[in-house]
């Protein structure tokens, strides 16, 4: 698949299944990630791979975090939160190791990591896999960051779920005209 086709036809699938990317495919996906624009060559990205039984442990962390936020959450809601970790055979936690006060502004470091996350999704799609990006409250939870081995100053940019597309997502509308205008000075 050529790059423009991958960029313009990738959509987030409604559901994923096994298999996920092989070790070889994952290596290619991560190589695409670190090819993202990186002002100052700071390499601010960090990738945590969650697969296999580690997904169950991650699910437990998700449920624990929900229970901290909502102490009276019913068992069904906690179970649904736990099962989020099983939505795909592979999860890539994309984090930014932000260096405050660096020559490169923090926003540029964060945007670089966002570009790396986008590269992951597009590369996975080009290799025949589906993927979707989630954040939510859990991305900003200090205890979750600690549990994942991230520093307090790190920022979770997203949880990328990768696998084989089980249920495709709706096609994307090409609406470039509604978001583009020419500036004449």
Per-residue pLDDT of the chain (185 residues), as tens digits, is 899 999 999 999 999 999 999 999 999 999 999 999 998 999 999 999 999 999 999 999 999 999 999 999 999 999 999 999 999 999 999 999 998 888 999 999 999 999 999 999 999 999 999 999 999 999 999 999 999 999 989 999 999 999 999 999 998 888 888 889 999 98
pLDDT the model gives residue 177: 85
Question: Within the chain, where are the H helices?
Answer: 3-9, 23-33, 54-69, 75-83, 106-126, 142-147, 176-179
Among 122, 98, 156, CA closest to 5: 122
Range of the domain at 130: 12-51+87-167
Residue 118 lies in a domain: yes
Q: How many domains does the chain have?
A: 1
> Which CATH number does the domain housing residue 140 bear?
3.40.109.10
Angle at 135 between CA 131 and CA 141, to 5 degrees: 140
Residue 33 lies in a domain: yes
Among 59, 81, 86, CA closest to 69: 81
Query: Is 145 within 8 Å of 154 (Cβ atoms)?
Result: yes
154: its two tokens:
């790190």
């Amino acid at each position: 698949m050529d790059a423009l086709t991958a960029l313009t036809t990738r959509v987030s699938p409604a559901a994923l299944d096994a298999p996920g990317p092989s070790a070889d495919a994952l290596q290619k996906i991560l190589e695409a990630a670190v090819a993202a624009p990186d002002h100052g060559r700071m390499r601010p990205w960090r990738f945590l791979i969650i697969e296999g039984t580690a997904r169950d442990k991650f699910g437990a962390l998700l449920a624990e975090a929900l229970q901290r936020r909502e102490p009276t959450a019913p068992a069904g809601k906690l179970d649904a939160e736990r099962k989020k970790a099983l939505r795909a055979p592979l999860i890539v936690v994309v984090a930014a190791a932000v260096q405050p006060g660096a020559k490169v502004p923090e926003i540029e470091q964060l945007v670089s990591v966002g570009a790396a996350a986008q590269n992951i999704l597009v590369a996975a799609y080009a290799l025949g896999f589906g993927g979707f990006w989630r954040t939510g409250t859990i991305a900003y939870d200090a205890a979750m960051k600690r549990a994942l081995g991230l520093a307090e100053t790190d920022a979770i940019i997203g949880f990328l779920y990768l696998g084989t597309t089980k249920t495709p997502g709706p096609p994307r509308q090409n609406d470039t005209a509604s978001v583009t205008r020419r500036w004449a000075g």
